Structure 1
Amino acid sequence: MKKLIAMALLACIATGMNAQDKKGTAEKNKPVFTTIKENKITSIKDQNRSGTCWAYSTLSFFENEILKKTGKTYDLCEMFVANKDYMERAILTVRMHGDSQFSQGGSSEDVLYILKNHGICPETAMPAPGTLTGDSLANFEEFFGVMEPYVAAVSKSKAKKISKQWQKGLQGIIDSYLGECPKEFVYEGKKYTPQTFAASLGLNFDDYVSITSYTHHPFYTQFPVEVQDNWRWATSYNVPMDEMMKIIDNAINEGYTVAWGGDVTEDGFTRMGLGIAYDVKKVRSMAGTDADRWFKLSSTEKKSKLDSLGVDAPEIVPTQEMRQEAFDNWETTDDHGMVIFGIAKDKNGREYYMVKNSWGEYGDYKGIWYMSKNYVAYKTMSFMVNKNAIPKDIRKKLGLN
């Protein structure tokens, strides 16, 4: 019995030492970043179970713009934007007899349009996200489960003529889940409407433009990026990839942030805070795995091998042609919106953008992601930026004053 106890004790010690070794290795391999430039941002938020990254990221971007220009910190209301936007999207879907996507997603241009045409209110002027349904954060599962069939029933109606009563019914659904948008409210002792509050923020909403980089349209022209969530068909300025990256770098170095939209479904975008444009062929070689063996691995096994390399993972060097091909063959998809606010480098000297996410303080960096410049060059769909953050020579090519 004593021998068994002794053996068990030795096993426990060995297991503990092994666990410590693994933990030590993990800590040793954990990426450490050195900040090169970091601009001020407002607090991290959590969109939770709602497809509203477009609202969270773009309002965060505008909060940063206000902070830069006035030094004041605001918490603007995402549910106000969602309330107005979903009704307008439903109206278009009905107008198109259902031949327009009605979904939770959107774009930065949606937020800009709402600010210009409806105004905005602070977070405190509407119910906190999720509270009307007993949640502590936004949860759109039931909300869209009710709303989507409603909009589909109207947009696909066999009636020869429809009334506007459906809009009143839909607005009731939206208000029930998100809260009714206030016509007036008091903020810091002063009465506002959403329009006067937006006007008080100190921003010129005509200063904001969208940038993209694809070859199926001429450079230095504008076109609507052809993705379903760009349902307003808002246009972006089209520039070569190298100039797209120069705009981001110049914006950060001049103290601005960028409302980024792009693809986060790649293996290189980890859930722990990294975005790396893996060169899978080189990774296979480093892992001692030939192509046949690699393709037989499960997705979990592949991801484990990729993630184990961390910032030592080799990257592709994206080209304009690669960007276009990935867009055309559906490899690059319109998934997520975040805010680029800084530049950092790893131990190897590789540079990354510091990116604010809207998943709460999730990941190794408490809600911040480090996306390599190669990843951003390859997987950017479009981004919104203050036109004054664009280098003068590029601004001149675009005809921006």
Structure 2
Amino acid sequence: MKQTFLSIAFLSLAFSGYAQKYEFQSIKDIACTPVISQGSTGTCWSFSSTSFLEAEIIRITGKKIDLSEMYNVRHTYPKKAWNFIMRQGHAQFGEGGLNHDVINSAREFGLVPDVAYSGLVGNADKLDHTKMVAEIEKVVKWYSNPEKKLEPKWKDEVTVILDKYMGQDVTEFTYETKKYTPKTFLEMTKLNLDDYVTITSFTNEPYYSKFILDIPDNFSNGSFYNMPLDEFVANIDNALDKGFTVALDADVSEKTFSGRNGIAVIPENEADEKAILTEIKPEKKITPEYRQQEFENFNTTDDHLMHIVGKVRDQAGSIYYKVKNSWGTKNVGNDGFVYMSVPYLRLKAISVLVHRDALVKKTKKQLGL
């Protein structure tokens, strides 16, 4: 009788192991600024990169500075317009961008705090670029027609639209009683923009090479360092372990990426797609070959950019990356952070932006950094 009771108890415990609600414990937290919302805009690339730079300023100087996401968006749109028009419409024009676009903009135009340039005009209290993008797109499509004579006034027309919806550009401002230009403000932050590199892992390019990744939002033809998948993940882990955060570009189109639940996982069994959002379930093993296959058949696409700021562990011992999102904190899980499993990152992370000193020594040597 006693043996039967123990057997039932054991089976019950085993069963419950497959129906355990997630319980997370923090194992690595790196200082970052609060979660905010990108509103009705497609500017996650700027929110991701700006949050990353804010964390870098904290790491380097100890200062918490709320940088303007919209300042670098404001300076990137004319470059997108130029790319579309000069390619006679044979390019993508939209709200998307990548981490290096903020780095490029900051290098050329500097940085400003949010109090100096919020990107909001009039009584607006929420970012919404719907009308602005439609108006700019109308202009660039008109001037990209090779049958029409191209006139430089298109630049003024784009500027007028940006001023209307985002406010005029800022060239000088006061921050904490001191006057700055965007360039001198960048100097004050102590950021060295040449220290940041983008790494990735794809099998169609030689490992330890630098190549231009063929994704729609790479309008500026940014270069990526390629490496084996295990090494790509090892470098992310090394960065976090050393106190560096990581800016992330990933596919979030999966049913098992849930902002509402604050979880991103890849179930081993398709039947677990719903349950795995709230319960621990077995996850798929991700090989380089499977990752490449999913990229080439468009199941993995460049959807959304975020910011990795730590790690958590569930009660079964599995590790998840603590990913700062830009969808605000209302009606979302984990206070606006997404806990992303290792399998999800291995499969769905397009690339990461990281400080070169955060890389594994072997990788730095192989890449000549």
Q: How far does residue 75 in structure 1 lie from its aligned partner after superposition?
A: 0.8
Per the alignment, residue 325 of structure 2 pairs with 357
The 3 A distance-change label for structure 1 pair 315 and 304 is: closer
Per the alignment, residue 281 of structure 2 pairs with 313
* Distance in 2 of aligned mates of 1:195 and 1:235: 24
Q: How far does residue 311 in structure 1 lie from its aligned partner after superposition?
A: 4.0
* Distance in 2 of aligned mates of 1:346 and 1:130: 40
* Distance in 2 of aligned mates of 1:81 and 1:278: 38
Q: CA RMSD in A?
A: 1.6
Secondary structure of 2:199's aligned partner? strand
Q: How far does residue 192 in structure 1 lie from its aligned partner after superposition?
A: 1.1
* Counterpart residue type for residue 296 of structure 2: D
1:79 aligns with 2:48: no
- Of 105, 110, 120 in structure 2, the residue corresponding to residue 114 of structure 1 is 105
Secondary structure of 1:124's aligned partner? coil
Aligned residues: percent identity? 37
* Distance in 1 of aligned mates of 2:110 and 2:256: 38
Flag the structure with higher helix content: 1
Task: Please tell me whether the aligned partners of residues 129 and 136 of structure 1 are also in contact (alpha carbons under 8 angstroms).
Answer: no
Per the alignment, residue 182 of structure 2 pairs with 194
What is the CA deviation profile of residues 361-385 of structure 1, one whole-angstrom value per residue up to 9, with x for unaligned ones? 1412111110001110110101100
Moved more, 150-159 or 219-228: 150-159
Secondary structure of 2:115's aligned partner? helix
Secondary structure of 1:176's aligned partner? helix
What is the CA deviation profile of residues 164-208 of structure 1, one whole-angstrom value per residue up to 9, with x for unaligned ones? 111101101011111112111111111111111112110111100
Q: Which ranges of structure 1 fall in alignment gaps of 5 or more residues? A: 1-27, 288-302
Per the alignment, residue 13 of structure 2 pairs with none
* Distance in 1 of aligned mates of 2:171 and 2:191: 21
1:280 aligns with 2:277: no
Moved more, 62-71 or 178-187: 178-187
1:44 aligns with 2:12: no
Per the alignment, residue 304 of structure 2 pairs with 336
1:1-400 correspondence to structure 2 within 5 Å: 30-126=21-117, 128-132=118-122, 134-156=123-145, 158-159=147-148, 161-271=149-259, 272-281=261-270, 284=271, 304-307=274-277, 310-362=278-330, 363-400=332-369
What is the CA deviation profile of residues 65-114 of structure 1, one whole-angstrom value per residue up to 9, with x for unaligned ones? 00001000111111111110001110111110011111000000100000
Task: Please tell me whether the aligned partners of residues 38 and 327 of structure 2 are also in contact (alpha carbons under 8 angstroms).
Answer: yes
Secondary structure of 1:109's aligned partner? helix
* Distance in 1 of aligned mates of 2:111 and 2:59: 19
What is the CA deviation profile of residues 12-49 of structure 1, one whole-angstrom value per residue up to 9, with x for unaligned ones? xxxxxxxxxxxxxxxx9542211111111111110011
The 3 A distance-change label for structure 1 pair 37 and 305 is: closer
Per the alignment, residue 10 of structure 2 pairs with none
Secondary structure of 1:123's aligned partner? coil
Could you tell me the TM-score, scaled by structure 1's length? 0.85
Secondary structure of 2:165's aligned partner? helix
Per the alignment, residue 4 of structure 2 pairs with none
Larger Rg: 1
Segments ≥4 residues shifted beyond 2 Å = 128-132, 303-307
* Distance in 1 of aligned mates of 2:174 and 2:106: 18
* Distance in 2 of aligned mates of 1:202 and 1:130: 27
Q: How far does residue 280 in structure 1 lie from its aligned partner after superposition?
A: 2.5
* Distance in 1 of aligned mates of 2:328 and 2:20: 24
* Distance in 1 of aligned mates of 2:179 and 2:119: 23
Moved more, 390-399 or 136-145: 136-145
Task: Please tell me whether the aligned partners of residues 71 and 119 of structure 2 are also in contact (alpha carbons under 8 angstroms).
Answer: no
Task: Please tell me whether the aligned partners of residues 121 and 167 of structure 2 are also in contact (alpha carbons under 8 angstroms).
Answer: no
Secondary structure of 1:312's aligned partner? coil
* Distance in 2 of aligned mates of 1:145 and 1:32: 44
The 3 A distance-change label for structure 1 pair 348 and 29 is: closer
Secondary structure of 1:218's aligned partner? coil
* Distance in 1 of aligned mates of 2:199 and 2:130: 32
The 3 A distance-change label for structure 1 pair 311 and 399 is: farther
Moved more, 29-38 or 192-201: 29-38
Q: Which ranges of structure 2 fall in alignment gaps of 5 or more residues? A: 1-18
* Distance in 1 of aligned mates of 2:252 and 2:284: 16
Per the alignment, residue 16 of structure 1 pairs with none
Alignment coverage as a number of residue pairs: 350
Q: How far does residue 304 in structure 1 lie from its aligned partner after superposition?
A: 3.8
